[in-house]
Structure 1
């Protein structure tokens, strides 16, 4: 993933800083006493924290295409997570600074500042917003273990309550309310879209075929009922199966990368048995319906067109590269050169290998190399350089298990490949 700012990042920063820019003239200076200084800092932290909370809600709308100015949905979701965590920390510091500012007067004054009579509703709305954030964020801490996917998604309703309460808190206390209305409409509007409008805009597909690829791996072939989606190689969708006989996952949405070429009339999705929902899909009933939402991401959009490409795929993470290879096969041409390394445990776990070898054999500029962990161990720089001598000068794309992804990024960084030329995608509570 590229490290520099994108157009979406800049727009987000403007949105977050707007309430503070409007409020600063009213906040005055630091003051000469610690109490005045702490009061100023507490108010600044409160404004920034609440603005970040509402901005985190705004970027959760998940409208197809909205993620692209941010570098794809995985990166946008990382921004969402950091905004939420940063908001929580700033709100805590906001309360701490205001309480400490009142300590020189008396301890009773400090307690009253933080916990005034119930008639001071604006302050208590702030505490309720903070409490909702605690309930929402608690499962993210390692002490509680990894939360279940669907439980995590349902907890987002608690975050919506935090947004509403925090927004109300700001309206009652702000001198100028229009920046908060702007942020409130963006944040709460995104929640309304996600929970109310978006589910009704999913595309209906029917499962035409379930193709076994290996033990615990299938490819679903989906035919649209009505208009289907338009997508680019390397993008992904959310899939919600409606098969009533499924043992798990019926009606649940999960992200899967598309393995079909963009010109294919059907969608093809490779699914590995990695959990309850993906296990159930191994035996999903053909001719049943699924709902598809998307597409999202811009995996192959992040490159300089004059550079050759190196693709490193492992496990079911090979699917974006299968999509790219199938696109190349249909066009029968490649812009520059593409070298695909399939990092599999062994030949029996190289799911699409026969097709990829066939494409490499007839399309000039597309090269395929397999690497088997059971026989050769982790991929080494020697193996990489032996088969692709100019790898360090290429745009490099990585998709696969977390451990493989981390190993490859360290290997490439240790041998001088800049971060700006390494692109990876990891689904983590998308």
Structure 2
């Protein structure tokens, strides 16, 4: 069973095709000799490439609730990355097709098509836009070693230059310019919001009330709002920017973390594992220091059929959305008949095991099963069937390391469970 397109996907497709639909009457037919076909292909790919680039910028808006029609922020960012890569490929086809279309006339004509005199400013704006895209995308191909998260975010400013130059290229050549103004305002407006306005306007101030150690290299931050409390749903995540001046790394940097507290908890609880410089520094963040919280984002537990019982798989720090869900059930004293499998390397790496076992003892509707990789190896179908015989009939949620996620996806789909009932969240897009 294939997943149906989200409402956001449909809106993106309509906006992508809008400039092409407006320009089609001026593009002429696609019959005739090969050079006419190539000219038509070159123009169409140029229109679609620039439209895709502007829309890739537009979906980076990151407003609360904006990600819901796209299936959550994780999926939206994956769309953003693929759209940017697709725009680059279409731009290359655009240039190559127009050059090949001029070859039958002469090689000089082909060269002149690509590199005309300086007076043809529209063409040179296109080349400058393409060069900006190369500078922006080159680090993602590993040309300069491992991609550094914060440098990559700062490099996004180069993408704004690519958008401006590409937009100028289109406005000088298009017959009808209003579609380009529409997409240009959407794309550039999103960049202005993300880079200039949201750092000052979108974050809610909180203070670190406590830093509770869970295991070696794992803590839970307990945060108290300084003013308005952020409302959230179970399974959502936030971007956290610590302002503690004593931090060895990560001060004022934003990173995504899943909320581990119940939506009814007056405090915000976030589990953080030492996985890099910023998360390492947060292990010893100063109690009483301030943080900024942006969000919440995601719709992890909203992808659910009410007729099916939930089955949860959590591993590593990916257990946090399920901790939040279990805590909410405990506060309410009831909930859907839910089974949680906690996949950890060993008992000492099952950070929330004690609390989850207590909740399972309190609630008949919540079942908890632990699985330790060092003792039992990878999770098997036999283990799953022994502890949850009706697993193939449930709605399934997975959150954990990419390797665990991939193993479970294969295991479950091999048992005939449709992909539409398997929901996962992995922050490997950052």
TM-score (norm 1): 0.98
Find the residue that maps to 1:233 and give its secondary structure: coil
Q: Does 1:162 align with 2:162?
A: yes
Describe the shift of the 1:234–1:2 C-alpha distance in structure 2 as closer, same or farther (beyond 3 A). farther
- Deviation of residue 156 (structure 1)? 0.7
Matches within 5 A, 1:291-330: 291-330=292-331
Q: Does 1:277 align with 2:270?
A: no
Answer whether contact 1:2 1:421 (CA < 8 A) is retained. Answer: no
Tell me, in whole angstroms, the C-alpha distance in 1 between the residues paired with 2:69 and 2:158. Answer: 28
Tell me, in whole angstroms, the C-alpha distance in 2 between the residues paired with 1:262 and 1:246. Answer: 29
Describe the shift of the 1:352–1:147 C-alpha distance in structure 2 as closer, same or farther (beyond 3 A). same
Matches within 5 A, 1:220-369: 220-335=221-336, 337-369=337-369
The residue that corresponds to 1:418 in the other structure is 418
Tell me, in whole angstroms, the C-alpha distance in 2 between the residues paired with 1:278 and 1:350. Answer: 19
The residue that corresponds to 2:136 in the other structure is 136
- Deviation of residue 310 (structure 1)? 0.4
Consecutive unaligned residues in structure 1, runs of 5 or more: none
Answer whether contact 1:126 1:165 (CA < 8 A) is retained. Answer: yes
Tell me, in whole angstroms, the C-alpha distance in 2 between the residues paired with 1:370 and 1:144. Answer: 42
Length, aligned pairs only:
429
Tell me, in whole angstroms, the C-alpha distance in 1 between the residues paired with 2:317 and 2:81. Answer: 26
Q: Does 1:386 align with 2:352?
A: no
- Deviation of residue 2 (structure 1)? 7.4
Answer whether contact 1:237 1:294 (CA < 8 A) is retained. Answer: yes
The residue that corresponds to 1:90 in the other structure is 90
Find the residue that maps to 1:283 and give its secondary structure: coil
Answer whether contact 1:334 1:364 (CA < 8 A) is retained. Answer: no
Answer whether contact 2:234 2:259 (CA < 8 A) is retained. Answer: yes
- Deviation of residue 142 (structure 1)? 3.9
Find the residue that maps to 1:247 and give its secondary structure: coil
Find the residue that maps to 1:252 and give its secondary structure: coil
Answer whether contact 1:2 1:423 (CA < 8 A) is retained. Answer: no
Find the residue that maps to 1:16 and give its secondary structure: helix
Tell me, in whole angstroms, the C-alpha distance in 2 between the residues paired with 1:186 and 1:429. Answer: 23
- Deviation of residue 334 (structure 1)? 0.9
Q: CA RMSD in A?
A: 1.1
Answer whether contact 1:128 1:165 (CA < 8 A) is retained. Answer: yes
Tell me, in whole angstroms, the C-alpha distance in 2 between the residues paired with 1:2 and 1:378. Answer: 28
Find the residue that maps to 1:313 and give its secondary structure: strand
Find the residue that maps to 2:196 and give its secondary structure: helix
The residue that corresponds to 2:402 in the other structure is 402
- Deviation of residue 64 (structure 1)? 1.0
Consecutive unaligned residues in structure 2, runs of 5 or more: none
Tell me, in whole angstroms, the C-alpha distance in 2 between the residues paired with 1:324 and 1:146. Answer: 35
- Deviation of residue 143 (structure 1)? 4.6
Tell me, in whole angstroms, the C-alpha distance in 2 between the residues paired with 1:146 and 1:370. Answer: 35
Tell me, in whole angstroms, the C-alpha distance in 1 between the residues paired with 2:421 and 2:235. Answer: 17
The residue that corresponds to 1:8 in the other structure is 8
Find the residue that maps to 1:172 and give its secondary structure: helix
The residue that corresponds to 1:103 in the other structure is 103
Answer whether contact 2:130 2:162 (CA < 8 A) is retained. Answer: yes
- Deviation of residue 157 (structure 1)? 0.6
Q: Does 1:124 align with 2:111?
A: no
Answer whether contact 1:396 1:423 (CA < 8 A) is retained. Answer: yes
Answer whether contact 1:223 1:266 (CA < 8 A) is retained. Answer: yes
Tell me, in whole angstroms, the C-alpha distance in 1 between the residues paired with 2:429 and 2:255. Answer: 9
The residue that corresponds to 1:66 in the other structure is 66
Instruction: Write the deviation string for residues 381-405 of structure 1: whole angstroms up to 9, x where unpaired.
Output: 1000100011111010000011111
Answer whether contact 1:149 1:429 (CA < 8 A) is retained. Answer: no
